[in-house]
A and B are shown apart, each in its own frame.
Chain A
C-alpha cells in the first residue's frame, strides 16, 4: 500500500503534545546567561547619549553594550548596502523597537532590571509613519544617502495608455494591503556559545544553513567550527528567515563573557522587532469589454519597506507584480513598483510573501468588473480563465511561467459544495427584510508561485543556492535515516518525508526517522520557505531513496543469485519475481551492505547511503477556488463568516491530514488579515497595536468551520507531482472574505473596503447609506 496519499498521523506530535518538544528556550547549558535589549521608544530620533553606569553597577550584570562597543562591526546582514540596520542603533534610531543597547546578566530578571536603568537621551526628529507621509514633498529623509525615501522605482515599460483609452470600459481601485505582524507562537529566540572549539548558535530559524554560512562569513571564521542548530521551532511564517541583530550580538557577547548567552524575545518585542509583512498599496486599473472580458491590467505597487530595506522585502513587489494577472488570460499587463522607507518596523516575507497581495488585488478587480458589467462574478472568472490546454503559459513576467493548472475545474468543484443560486435568492430576500442580517457571497480563484527551487530563485534573496539536500542512509539493521536541509518549523516534514521514503525504499514508516536542523548533522541545506519543503526537499528524498533502493536491489540479487531486474519487494523482503520462496529481508541486505565480502562486484560499502542536492527546473503554481459566505449585522456592522468553502489544487498530496492542516492554518491567517489584524502606527510612528489586546490575532473560537475539497493537476517539474500548500490559504482567503463583504453591501453602492473589515468601518458605511 502506498503511504503517499495516506492520512498518516504526525511523528512529531507525541513529543509536542506531551510537552517534550525541545525549543531553544528550553535549553539551559551550564553557565547560561541572558541578554535583554533596550529598544527605541522613538520612531525617529538622534541619540544624544546613553548612560549605562547604573546598569553596569547592578550585581549580576556581566556586560552592557551600545553601538560604541561594536563600532568596528558591519551592519546586520541581509540589508541593502548603506541602508542596512546596525546591530545596535548608531547615533540615530529609525523605528520604535530598534535595538539601542543590550545587557547580559546572570539571569533574565537581572538583565531586565538593568535594561530599565539605562538612560537614553533622544533628540526627536520628525517621523514618517506611512507611505503617503514618506513620499510627501519635503518629508524628512530616513537615509541621507538616498536623498529621499524611495529606495527603488521600477517604471512601466509601457503604461498601456492607448489600450485603456480605446477600451469599452475601465475601472480602478486604490487598495491598501494591511501591514501584519507574523506573531508565531514562539518569538525570536537564540542561544550562542562561542568557546575554544568554535561557535554554536541555537536559533528559532527556518534556514539554519543559511544562518551558518552568513554568520561564519560575518565573523570571518571557518564554517567547520561554526554550527547552527534549529531544534523544534514554533512557527515562523517567513519571519524566521531574516537575519536579526540578536544572532550576532549573542555570539559576540558569548565570546566576551565566556559563557553561553541566550536571548528570548518577549511577546511585546515580537510585535515591533520581528519583521512585518504585507504593507503594500496598489493603484490598479483594469480595461474590459461589456461582456466582462479583460483587455488590460495596469498595476503600481508601493511597498513600505519600513526603516531598513532588506533583500526579502525588496523582493515582495517583484513577486506581487509577477503574479498580478492571477488565473487570467490578460492580453496586456503593465507593472510598476516602488520601494519606500518609513519610520516603522522593517518588512519582509510573511506567509505568502507578495502573492497574497497579488491575488487580493486581481480578485477584487474581477468582482469590480462583475459589478460594472452586471455579469455574475463566477461568470467573469470563467470568461477570463487561462484554459487547461494553454499550459505552459507565458505571462507578462519571466518569473511566472505557469506550468499547469485547471482553474475552471477547481471552480466547478467548488460550486458542487456551494449552493450558489439558493444563496443569491436568500441574499435578495434578506435585503428586503430590514430585520434580517445581510448576506454576502465572495469568490476567489487564486494562483500563487511556490516551490522555490529553480536555480537563481533563492540566490536572488542571498541564499547559497536553490536546491535542497537529502541524504538517505540505511542503518545496519535495515532502518533508515533521512537527513534534510529543509529544516521545518511546524510543517510535519518528519512525517511526509518518511511517507515518501517508505514508498520508495519498501521500509516500514515506523523504521524511518528524519533528522534536520543541525548543521553538524546535516552538512548542507537551504531551508523551509516559499512552500518548497515537499516540492523540492521531498523530491530530493524521493530521488535519494530511489538510488538507495536500486543498490539494495543489486545486493539482494547478488545474495539471491538472481538478476537485479527480477527483484521485487514486499513486507520488507526482497524476492525473485515468480519465486516467493526465495527471499532475503531488508535487514540482511542492510547488514551485508557494510560487508565487502557480501557485495556484488564493483560495489563498495556505503552503497546504501545517498546524498542528493535536488534541483527543479521551475517554480510550482498551486491554485484553487475559495468561496466565503458572510452575514453582516445591520445594527452593529459585525461581519460573521457563515461558511468557508475551499478547493485547493496543490498537485499530488503526500498526506491529506497535513494538507488540510496547512489549508486551515493559511486560511485562518487570511481571515485574520481580512477581518482582524492590522499593525497600526500613529503619525509620529508610535505603534498603536503594541500588545495582543490591540493586535487581534483570532483564536479558534473566532474562526468558522471549513469545507475542504481538492482537485489535482500534478506538478510537471518534479516526479512527485506535488506543488506545495503552505501558503495557499493566506493567498486565497483574503479576497474571498472581502469579496463576500463587498457583495453583501453592493446594493448600497459599495465597491471596495480596505482590510481589515472592522465592525466600525461597516457600521459607518451602513450609517452613511441611510
Chain B
C-alpha cells in the first residue's frame, strides 16, 4: 500500500505528452484519473520509474457532436460522460454505463480514456465501447491513427496503444432513439461486474460482455444474429461463443456462462421497452 519511488512530470499538451513518453521510454506510465494505476502501484504490482501526469491537458476533456459521431476526449471524467445531455441523447448506453463505474468518488476522478486503455475485461466502459462500435483515436510521434474498439482490446490489460502513444479521443457513432441496456451482476454495488452485458439495438446493434474473457469481449456471433433480426433464443444460443470466462471466488465458468445468458435475456427485455 506504499508505492515504490517514482519521478513525476506534468504534460501540458498532447504533443508534450508524446515528447515525454519518448524521453522516458518504457519505464514511464501516463497518469490520468489514477483509479487503475495507483492501486496497482500501491500494491507494488506496477513500479513505473516516471509518471507523466496528463490530467492538466485541458484539450482532452470534452464531449462534442461531429456529424454522425459523438466524440469524447480521453480525459473526460466518468461523471461528465454520465451527465452529458449530448451523450444521454445519442448514446444513452454509454451515459448509463459511465454512471455504473465504481462509486461516486471513482466516477468523479476516473476518465473514459483511462478506463479503456487499461483494457480490463472486468471493467464497464470497454463493453459499452464495443457494443456501440466506437473507434479509438490514438496519437503518437507519427501523428494520429484510428482503430475500431474490437481491434483495440488485445489481451488481458493490453490494448493496441503502443509505447510512445496516447489515446486521445473516442468516436462513438450515434445511437439516437435506439434500444439499449446494461445488465451488471455484482455482489456489492461498487464492485467490478461478475458478469455484465452491454446491449445496443438499432441500425448498428452490438452486444458485449464484461468479465467473460481475457479481454473486453464483443459477442460477435450474437451481435450478427441481432443484426439479422434473430429471435432471442438464437441470440442466447451463441452469446457464449468464443468466451473464456475466468474462475474465481464469485463464479465458475459454468455459472458465468449461465449469467451471460440470463443477463442477455434481461438486457433484451429492458432494451425493447
- Chain A positions near chain B (C-beta within 8 angstroms): 36, 108-109, 112-113, 116, 266-269, 635-636, 638, 676, 680, 688-689, 691, 693-694, 696, 698-699, 701-702, 758-760, 763
A547 to B1, alpha carbons, bound, how many Å?
Answer: 52
CB distance from A282 to the nearest CB of B (A): 24
- What's the A-B contact tally at a CB cutoff of 8 Å? 58
Interface residues of B (CB under 8 A from A): 1-5, 43-44, 103, 185, 187-192, 194, 249-252, 255, 258-259, 262
B2 touches A112 (CB 8 A): yes
Known: A676-B188, A680-B249, A688-B249. A109 touches B259 (CB 8 A): no
**Contact at B1–A689, with CB atoms within 8 Å?**
no
A268 to B56, CA, bound (A): 32
Residue of A nearest to B194 (CB): A759
Complex CA–CA separation, A636 to B263 (angstroms): 9
Asked whether A760 lies within 8 Å of B251 as measured between CB atoms, the reply is: yes
Question: A-B pairs with the 8 shortest C-beta distances?
Answer: A266-B1, A112-B2, A701-B189, A635-B262, A702-B188, A760-B255, A268-B1, A696-B188
Closest CB of chain B to A65's CB: distance in Å?
A: 19
**Measured between alpha carbons, how far is A395 from B190 in the docked complex, in Å?**
45
Q: Give the CA-CA distance A689 to B248 in the complex, in Å.
A: 11
Give CA–CA (A689, B258) in the complex, Å: 24
* A-B pairs with beta carbons under 8 Å apart, 5 shown: A109-B3, A116-B44, A680-B249, A696-B191, A702-B189
| Contact, CB under 8 Å: A36 / B189 | no
User: A760 vs B3: C-alpha distance in the bound complex, in angstroms?
Assistant: 35
Expressed in whole angstroms, the Cα–Cα distance for A553 and B89 within the complex equals 75
Residue pair A108, B2 in contact (C-beta under 8 Å): yes
Closest to B256 in A: A760
Partner of B255, one of A113, A688, A698, A763: A763
Interchain CB contact (< 8 A) of B188 among A113, A268, A699: A699
Known: A109-B5, A113-B5. A758 touches B258 (CB 8 A): no
Judge whether A693 and B191 touch: CB under 8 Å: yes
- Nearest-Cβ distance from residue A766 to partner chain B, whole angstroms: 11
A109-B3, A116-B4 are known; give 5 further A-B pairs, CB within 8 A.
Answer: A112-B4, A268-B1, A696-B191, A699-B189, A759-B194
Q: Are A694 and B189 in contact (CB under 8 A)?
A: no
Q: With the chains together, A108 CA to B2 CA distance in Å? A: 8
- If A116-B44, A636-B262, A688-B249 touch, whether A696 touches B1 (CB-CB below 8 Å) is no
Nearest neighbor of B185 in chain A, beta-carbon distance: A636
In the complex, which residues of chain A have a beta carbon less than 8 angstroms from the beta carbon of B3?
Answer: 109
Q: B227 to nearest A CB, angstroms? A: 26
What residues of A have a CB within 8 angstroms of the CB of B189 in the complex?
699, 701-702
Residue of B nearest to A112 (CB): B2
Q: Name the residue in B3, B187, B194, B251 with the highest tally of chain A Cβ atoms < 10 Å from its Cβ.
A: B187
Cβ contacts under 8 Å, B258 to chain A: 763
Q: Within 8 Å CB of A689, what residues of B?
A: 249
The answer to whether B187 and A676 touch across the interface, beta carbons within 8 angstroms, is: yes
Whether the pair B190, A701 counts as a contact (CB closer than 8 A) is yes
Q: Are B249 and A113 in contact (CB under 8 A)?
A: no
Given contacts A689-B249, A763-B255, contact A268 B4 (CB under 8 A): no
Contact A636 B188 (CB under 8 A): no
B260 to A: closest C-beta gap in Å: 11
A757 → chain B closest CB, angstroms: 11
- CB distance B250 to A758 under 8 Å? yes
Q: CA separation between A760 and B250, bound complex, in Å? A: 7
Cβ-neighbour of B43 out of A268, A676, A688, A694 (below 8 A):
A268
Task: Determine how close the nearest CB of chain A comes to the CB of B212; give it in whole angstroms.
Answer: 15
Give the residues in chain B near A698, CB-CB below 8 Å: 188
In the bound assembly, the distance between CA atoms of A224 and B250 in angstroms comes to 54
* Cα(A359)–Cα(B194), bound, Å: 33
Closest beta carbon of chain A to B81's beta carbon, Å: 21
- What's the minimum C-beta distance from B238 to chain A, rounded to whole angstroms? 19
Q: Taking the nearest CB of chain B, how far is it from the CB of A668, in angstroms?
A: 13
For B103, list chain A residues within 8 Å (CB): 699, 701
Q: Which of B2, B5, B185, B187 contacts A758 (CB 8 A)?
A: B187
User: A210 to B191, alpha carbons, bound, how many Å?
Assistant: 40
Q: Note all chain B residues with C-beta closer than 8 A to A699.
A: 103, 188-190
